[in-house]
Every structure is written in C-alpha cells, then in structure tokens.
Amino acid sequence: MKRISLNTENHVSEILIGETRLNISNYIPDGKVVIITDDNVGKLYGNEFPPFPVLSFKPGEESKNLKTIEFLAEGVLRSGLDRKGFIIGIGGGVVCDIAGFLASVYMRGINFGFVSSTLLSQVDASVGGKNGVNIGLVKNAIGSFNQPEFVICDISMLNSLPEDEYYSGLAELIKMGIILDNGLLDEIEKNREAILKRDNSILEYLVTRSVMLKAKIVTEDERESGRRMILNFGHTFGHVIETSGNQKHGFAVASGMVIAAGISELEGALGKTDVKSIINLLKSFNLIKKYDIPP
C-alpha cells in the first residue's frame, strides 16, 4: 500500500492506494456514520459495507443535481447525523462529487471520506477536494472545495468495472501524463497490454504516480486560481461533448484534448509531432469516439 499525504492550508488528506475496502473501519472516527453510494456499487459490494445506515441513488451523471442532494440530506437527517457525524462515499466520480458536496453543506460542513471504486475517481474525482453538482447541462455549476479525511483507492475494485467505465478512467490517466509527466506516458505506452488486461500491479503503480502528480498541484493551488487550471486540459470542450454528445466523461475529455492540442498547434505552442503522438496514444486505447455537435 502507498500512502500519499495531500497537504493544503488547513487540512491533510490521506490517499491510500492499494488499501482494501475491507479495512475501511480502521479509518472511520468514532460517532455516527452514514454511507452514500449508488445502486450499482451497492449491489456489487453492499454486503461488505460496515454496519452503518446506507443511502443509495440511481447511478450516472443524471443524478448529479440538487434533487439528489435534497433526497440524501433528508435521509442523513433522519439517521440522526449531527455536526460531529461522518459521511463515507463509496463509489466512482459521481458518488464522490455528491457525497463530498453533501458533507460540505450538511450542518454547514461535516467530515467525510471516500472509497474510490473506479479508475476515473481514483486518478481524478476523489482526489483534490473539488465537489459539486450540475445545473441542467452545466457541469459542476454548484460546488465547493473541501478535502476528505481519507481516500481509499482499492485497485481490486477496478476488475468489476464495465469496459467503457474502465476506458473512461484511462483518458484521465493519460491526461496526467500529457500535462505533467512524459515518463508516465512512456509507462502507459510500454504497459498497454497489461493495462488492457487490468493488471493490478501496474494499475497500482500508475494510479500512485498520477495521484502524486495531482497532490503536488493541489498543494500548490487548492482553489484553482492558477497552476491547478492545467488539470482541466481537454475539459472545456470535453464537457460540451459529454453533455451534448451524450458520451462518458473520459471519452469526451479525450476528444477535448485532441481539439485543445490542435488549437495549441495552430497557435504555435505545440509541435505537429506532439499532437500526432497525443492522438495516436488516445486512439490506441480506443478513446476517440465520433460526436456531432454544431460549432
């Protein structure tokens, strides 16, 4: 297991990569606890959850809204959770966004932690303290910066992901290499077959390397006023493709990265060879999908 401390101005968040979900009780503080998850994760792993009240919602981006927050807040209130309570989000990116935001506003803010079950959330959504929900087609229009107490990245949970969910996470992993670490890109290319076979040892290594990169950026710029904006590479166009083109996040971001790289080439900031390398790598993992959105 690799432990990475994410240090911000007022908080230390522990990212535990390779830890098992079965040890979650070791990290939960005393007091009342509520688990937030979605129906899919509940069906797969619910019998392994610690004995706390569980609130579940319909999986998917369509649940990432204020109606879901209200529904969950009512359930948390009924459970008797007070200001000393604790929320655990067990699931992927949507669960982490929703559970983190709920914890940030319930009773004006209570502590929380995550068990991250998808590659997308392990390399991106669960790490860094950005929580929020959508308004209509506008992603993350309401949210907060609030760090979890801990994030457990259980690599074995990646084996249960549907193929498209797994590939969606690969796009964010590749993004981290493109913007911050050519060595990470080399490792991804070199271990392509092992990655496609979901080899746990290589995935643990790659997730660890990616989280270390992100933790460094977030430590420097928690509230995205400068350096952290680099993590949005591909997302400006990707969010439009995701919502209007009805694509999963990672595939949409992959296309967004291609568009952004093309603009960088036109502006003289990125060479043609580099653009071609980015496109070829994304294509090698079948991450580029067609979309039909008017300019």
Q: Which of 224, 265, 286, 289 is catalytic?
A: 224
Determine whether 249 is an active site residue: yes
Determine whether 200 is an active site residue: no
Buried (b) or exposed (e) across 262-290, using 16+ Cβ within 10 A? eebbeeeebeeeebeebbebbeebebbee
Determine whether 14 is an active site residue: no
Question: What's the rounded Cα separation, in Å, for the pair 124 and 204?
Answer: 14
Is residue 48 within 8 A of residue 28, CB to CB? The reply is no
Is residue 120 within 8 A of residue 250, CB to CB? The reply is yes
User: Which residue's entry shows tokens 């991250």?
Assistant: 116
Determine whether 11 is an active site residue: no
Question: What's the rounded Cα separation, in Å, for the pair 217 and 58?
Answer: 32
Determine whether 239 is an active site residue: yes
Q: Distance of alpha carbon 125 from its chain centroid, rounded?
A: 2
**What is residue 261's three-state secondary structure?**
helix
Q: Which of 21, 64, 139, 239 is catalytic?
A: 239
Q: Which of 21, 64, 175, 228 is catalytic?
A: 228
Q: Which of 222, 235, 242, 248 is catalytic?
A: 235
Instruction: Sheet with 111-116: list strands edge to edge.
Output: 2-8, 11-17, 150-153, 111-116, 86-91, 33-38, 54-57
Question: What's the rounded Cα separation, in Å, for the pair 259 and 194?
Answer: 28
In the numeric block, which tokens belong to residue 49? 């959850």
Q: Which of 21, 64, 214, 248 is catalytic?
A: 214
Determine whether 108 is an active site residue: yes
Q: Which of 9, 10, 47, 108 is catalytic?
A: 108
DSSP state of 219: H
Q: Which of 130, 139, 175, 248 is catalytic?
A: 130
Q: Which of 64, 139, 175, 249 is catalytic?
A: 249
> Which parts of the chain are beta strand (E)?
2-8, 11-17, 33-38, 54-57, 86-91, 111-116, 130-135, 138-145, 150-153
Determine whether 280 is an active site residue: no
In the numeric block, which tokens belong to residue 262? 């093309």
Determine whether 48 is an active site residue: no
Q: Which of 232, 265, 286, 289 is catalytic?
A: 232
- The catalytic residue positions are 108, 130, 172, 214, 224, 228, 232, 235, 239, 249
